[in-house]
Chain A
Amino acid sequence: MKRKWLAAGTGLVSALGAVLFLGAGQTQEEDVASGGEQESQSQPIQFPHDTHAGQFRIDCQYCHFSAERSVDAGIPPVETCIGCHREGLVAGRTHPEEVAKVREFFESNTPIPWRRIYKVSDHVRFPHLRHVAAGVSCQTCHGQVQEMGVLESVAPEAGDLKMGWCVSCHLERGASRDCTVCHY
């Protein structure tokens, strides 16, 4: 009998899932092809958000294309990168070796296994479209991305991605604090 009760208790943990926010890992060079789901602490491509979103003022939604119409913001298909970084077009002034990796992914028809930085728990629904429509800027949650280089960790603005942080903003803006707005 006791074992069953304990099983029920521990089962809860798995039901709850986990908030993933990945600690600041060391940036390190590594083989492109091995950037899969292994214990990588680094992004497969050293993608500088500051160059793209800052220096060249490319709109966030140019790449994260579905943020205003979907719950998911969208990770750009490799094709989107190649739109600019095609052979003969932008070759990357400071880090041409990284652009070469993008082309390699595209030519070998391989998706880029980006390391996920932002993830809310499995039992949380975060509809991007609703927040974009409400005029919440990307930076409110994701920090000053346009000033960041390679994203390796959650921005300090994102609090700790815990519920208290969500709720305080909802409270401030008069958004609903009903549980089933996010949990179902």
Chain B
Amino acid sequence: MRFRGLKSLVIAAFLMASPVSAEPVRLYIDADFSHGAQAAEAIELGVRTALREVGGRVGDLSLDVMLFNNRANAKRSLQTLRTFVSDPEALAVIGGVQSPPYLTNRKFINENGILLLLPWSAAGPVTRAAEGQTNWIFRVSIDDTKSAEFLVGRVVDVHNCTRPGLLLMDTGWGRVNRIALLKSFEGRLEEQPGVWMFSGTVGATEASRIAVEVREAGIDCAIMLANDANGALIVRKLFTESAPVRVISHWGIMAGDFPGSVANEIREEMQIEVLQTCGLHAEEAGRPEVKRALDMAGDGNTVFRSLSDVPSVAGFVHGYDLTRILVVALGQAVLSEDWAGADMQGRRALLRHALENLQKPVEGILKTYNRPFRRYSISDPDAHEALGLSDLCVAGFSRDGRLVLPDRGASLRQ
């Protein structure tokens, strides 16, 4: 590990000292730096950490990061995408937490050849291009088409819940997951679970009503899809209005300061679990990349001893792994014959091709990626998904609100 870090530094120093003037290219981060600032910043940290490892350069290219705050607004995101299209030095866009901007703008992205790399947003259709369209979207994150099955397995098989319920935010994301979750429940319980949908701006009254209904329905486990604010409200109301319910939450609540909004005693009482990829487990398992990344991520003021120290850690982990893959792919692309003569659109295409045909394995925090992406087709819908069902885990909260491995060391890995 030390050797590797040294090597990186040498490469970076070499690149920076190179008399050849570097050609600047830009990486856009299109994320919600307002409400979901914590998650967005975690992604940014992961990206910058990975870049820092290569000194911000690949070959003759100097990689610069530009931040665009989409405030979870698809139109704002579209604005960024348009800016990207007209920017001759923009190489790729790295997305934020929310899926709606990319669900809404997917057609625009694919039609305009915008290379979009998603480290967090989970909506299934984003990486599945329509037939006849070139697929320009790659993901290193949870895919909701997999998460439903994982969450249901967690409820039924691990916790042996008999009367589960679904608490879903009434958005496109929530509605898509409702279908997927109910489908996953089919045949596994005597009766289908109860479903409660609530709006993104749900207030205390409605949250109370839902909590009462949950109690009255005798729910023992709840799968929750919410963001940090409304998720916190629902949890608080469940705690006060209802009998103890085990909450297994999708990771939407980790986009913000969910632990800050929910008291520790509640978290403990309700045994809240959060869907995560298996970064913590990798750390636990001692993957050297975790330590290296944490070392690189910290600066003079901030020191990360563990992934748990990183707020919205999923964003950091995925952002880091994603950028690692990107750097390798870019290094592969610039070696192609066409690179030098190609314009930026041509180079994006070459990079996209390199991503689908990565020649070398990439060492990430979560795992070693052996050809994470493939050429996409309708018959291979997971071609642009770097992670699969086996990469999903859950995490719990420590008393100070950090994500940690679930209590009592029980393996949550599935």
Partners in one complex: no
Instruction: Report A's interface with B, CB cutoff 8 A.
Output: none
Instruction: Report B's interface with A, CB cutoff 8 A.
Output: none
